[in-house]
Amino acid sequence: MTATAGDLLQTTVRALAPDPETNPVVPLVERGEAPVRLLARLALEQQWVIPADRRSFDHLAQRAEPAAAAFFTTLATGEELAAAHLEAFARAGGVTEDTSRGYVPLAGCQAYPAYVSWLALNAAPADVVLALTANFSAWGGYCARIATGLRTHYGFGDEACAFFDFFAAPAPDLDEQATAAVQTALDTGTLDPDRAHTYGSLLQAYEGMFWETLR
């Protein structure tokens, strides 16, 4: 039986899902054991990641056929919304404008957006849809746990937690767009599941590098 887009997305998400307990930072925040300076560093690194990813998604939208373009356009719009929320989290973590201007990002944290940029330039957009969907599943789970830890142990309010709430929230419209994009690529023979799996594996590795470096 030929796999549907939904089957392929679910299989890929399961295959690439990392062990949530191997993340060296999220459990610390969840337990209230992460120092505030680590939270500030997380905000500062994300101030570089978010705009880079937005531009990558914009470029993928320009390269993609309509179904995949809709997915990437939604992602780019989401990054704009996330950027606004990020400022509140940064302030709650003690990040000032001077701190932000003078911050030198860590190479290990910026490897992830650098690879997303590589995908935007080199990969077939439909393959990237599949790879990113698997990665976003893990990222959303991390954000939900961080938001809980920030509220429980650090006294952060809704505004300061909104960045993580945004990514942790279900996104049924985005899921539908991903399914439509993958199904279109399957129907037209333009999807390479093995290549997409490789992209997803690398994204997860760079995601892990982000957290390891942050610690």
Give the integer Cα–Cα distance in Å for 66 and 214.
37
Query: Could you tell me which residues come within 8 angstroms of residue 17 by beta carbon, excluding any fewer than 6 positions away?
Result: 134, 137, 138
- Classify 158 as helix, strand or coil: helix
pLDDT at residue number 2: 58
pLDDT at 141: 93
Mean pLDDT of the chain: 95
Query: Residues near 137 by Cβ (< 8 Å), separated by ≥ 6?
Result: 13, 17
- Residue 20's pLDDT band, with cuts at 50, 70 and 90, is confident
Task: Assess whether pLDDT exceeds 80 at residue 3.
Answer: no
- Considering the entire predicted model, what is its pTM? 0.95
pLDDT for res 137: 87
Q: Which residue has the higher pLDDT, 114 or 19?
A: 114
pLDDT digits (tens, 9 = 90+) for 115-142: 999 999 999 999 999 999 988 989 999 9
DSSP states of 49-110 as a string?
HHHHHHHHHHHHHHHS-HHHHHHHHHHHHHHHHHHHHHHHHHHHTT--HHHHHH----HHHH
Average pLDDT over residues 1-6: 75
pLDDT tens digits, residue range 157-195?
A: 999 999 999 999 999 999 999 999 999 999 999 999 999
Domains and CATH numbers, the chain: 5-214 (1.20.910.10)
Q: How confident is the model at residue 1 (pLDDT cuts 50, 70, 90)?
A: very low
Specify the residue for token string 């459990």.
27
